[in-house]
Amino acid sequence: MSKHEIAVIPGDGIGNEVVPAALDVLNTVAEVHGGISFEFTNFPWNCDYYLKHGIMMPEDGLNTLQSFEAIFLGAVGDPAKVADHISLWGLLIKIRREFEQVINIRPAKFINGIVSPLTNPNDFDLIVVRENSEGEYSEVGGRIHKGEDQIAIQNAIFTHKGTERAIRYAFELAAKRKGHVTSATKSNGIFHSMPFWDEVFKEVSLDYPEARTASYHIDALAAFFVTKPHIFDVIVASNLFGDILTDIGAAIMGSIGIAPAANINLNGKYPSMFEPVHGSAPDICGKGIANPVGQIWTAKMMLDHLGQQELGQKVLTAMEETISNGIKTPDIGGNASTKEMTEDICRRLKK
């Protein structure tokens, strides 16, 4: 029997609707397939917690999380209550940084039964490897002067180590897939960081002579995500480029509500964190119609990470069957509730 101790942070907004849904799915997996059990420990750290305590998580919060095998998170941010820069730097980004979750893996693929906005969706199946610890998301900078002289500065930081790590991860991943790596760049001389990024990409590619590569400026690449996503296998991108590309990845699948993600710690010193691409969706929160699939697919990625790939595949299959049988939330053209969709997925897992 393998037992997995998981820290659960539902966070804000629909995080509190889709996380319990995904936990139902994980509990069903454990119930149906002996040999695995979960112990979930819930942490109510979110914007309401901030309003009570003046902090997004307790001072020793990271220490507490440290002992878990993985962290399962919904979404952070409720701008009507707490400014995003406080909630995000205080919880989400803090965990990603302090736990050295340097890689963010974000797959997107054509899902049968969801109407993609693309006129010719073909069968695309891609993974964005997003650098998750530096780049444009730097803490260096701030605001100076006042009034009309006010200036906001943020220095992008690209270290050789961080850049190489992300690019190497992408090549390793591609070697297990179709062997193709695309670099998201913007090397036409505007950003100092991008010719540097290209050099590291070239350097690392020499270690993978069997890999096929491509490199596109991020603006053109964003357009190709819409016009010909089937040409991609693994795409490696800086923190901000990866953030934006993966919302496009979600959109071409048919909804931001279905895209999963994994923040990976590579050195084994800290737990990795699993959270979908979407946010707390304040506009639909409380209506019971949030799509649980992003969070459930994220649970599948967590199962893979825990060495339970076979069970992960079962979750994905059940999820795809539910969708292709038309049990869908409104964002993907159906009229099912979060609960109905989740129950159908659980029912299929029990078959």
Say how far apart CA 251 and CA 258 lie, in whole Å. 9
| Spatial distance between the Cα atoms of 199 and 135, rounded to a whole number of angstroms | 16
Query: Which among 286, 277, 211, 198 has a CA at the least distance from the CA of 238?
Result: 198
278 binds, among Mn ion, ligand NAD, ligand IPM, none (CB under 5 to 8 A by kind): ligand NAD
Task: Find the shortest distance in angstroms from Cβ 77 to ligand IPM.
Answer: 6
Interface residue with Mn ion among 12, 17, 24, 243 (CB under 5 A) is 243
291 touches, from ligand NAD, ligand IPM, Mn ion, none (C-beta below 5 to 8 Å by class): ligand NAD
Question: Which contacts (CB < 8 Å, 24+ apart) does range 184-191 have?
Answer: 184/216, 184/218, 184/221, 184/235, 184/236, 184/237, 184/238, 184/241, 184/242, 184/245, 185/215, 185/216, 185/217, 185/218, 186/217, 186/218, 186/219, 186/241, 187/215, 187/217, 188/217, 191/156
Stretch that binds Mn ion, among 140-148, 152-160, 239-247, 300-308 (CB under 5 A): 239-247
User: Rounded to whole angstroms, how far apart are CA atoms 347 and 253?
Assistant: 24
Q: What is the smallest separation between the CB atom of 93 and ligand NAD, expressed in angstroms? A: 9
Which residues fall within 8 angstroms of residue 37, CB to CB, at 6 or more apart? 1, 2, 3, 4, 30
Query: Which range binds Mn ion by CB under 5 A, 165-173, 235-243, 256-264, 298-306?
Result: 235-243
Residue 339: CB minimum distance to Mn ion, A: 26
- Whichever of 4 and 96 has its CB closer to ligand IPM, that residue is 96
Nearer to ligand IPM, 97 or 230 (CB): 97
User: In terms of CB distance, is 200 or 316 closer to ligand NAD?
Assistant: 316
Q: Is 100 in the site for Mn ion (CB under 5 A)?
A: no
Q: How many angstroms separate the CA atoms of 318 and 338, rounded?
A: 15
Least separation, in Å, of the C-beta of 279 and ligand IPM? 6
Question: Among residues 243, 304, 340, 343, which is the contact residue for ligand IPM, using CB under 6 A?
Answer: 243
CA–CA gap between residue 240 and residue 43 (Å, rounded): 28
For ligand IPM, the closer of residues 257 and 279 by Cβ is 279
Of the candidate residues 277, 290, 302, 332, the single one contacting ligand IPM (CB under 6 A): 277
Verify binding: residue 136, Mn ion, rule CB under 5 A: no
Q: Supply the minimum distance, in Å, between the C-beta of residue 35 and ligand NAD.
A: 31
> Least distance to ligand NAD from the beta carbon of 34, Å?
31
> Residue 280 binds what, of ligand NAD, ligand IPM, Mn ion, none (CB under 5 to 8 Å, by partner type)?
ligand NAD
User: Which one, of 324, 319, 284, 280, lies nearest residue 299 by Cα?
Assistant: 319
Ranked by CB distance to Mn ion, the top (closest) residue is 243
C-beta of residue 277 within 8 angstroms of C-beta of residue 247: yes
Contact positions vs ligand NAD (CB under 6 A)? 14, 18, 75-77, 79, 84, 88, 92, 256-257, 275, 278-284, 290-291, 294, 331
Q: Which of 32, 62, 86, 88 binds ligand IPM (CB under 6 A)?
A: 88
State the alpha helices, DSSP H only, in 33-132.
Answer: 47-53, 61-66, 84-87, 93-98
What is the DSSP-derived secondary structure letter of residue 158? -
- The DSSP bridge partners found for residue 152 are 143
Using CB under 5 A as the criterion, which residues of the chain lie in contact with Mn ion when the complex forms? 243
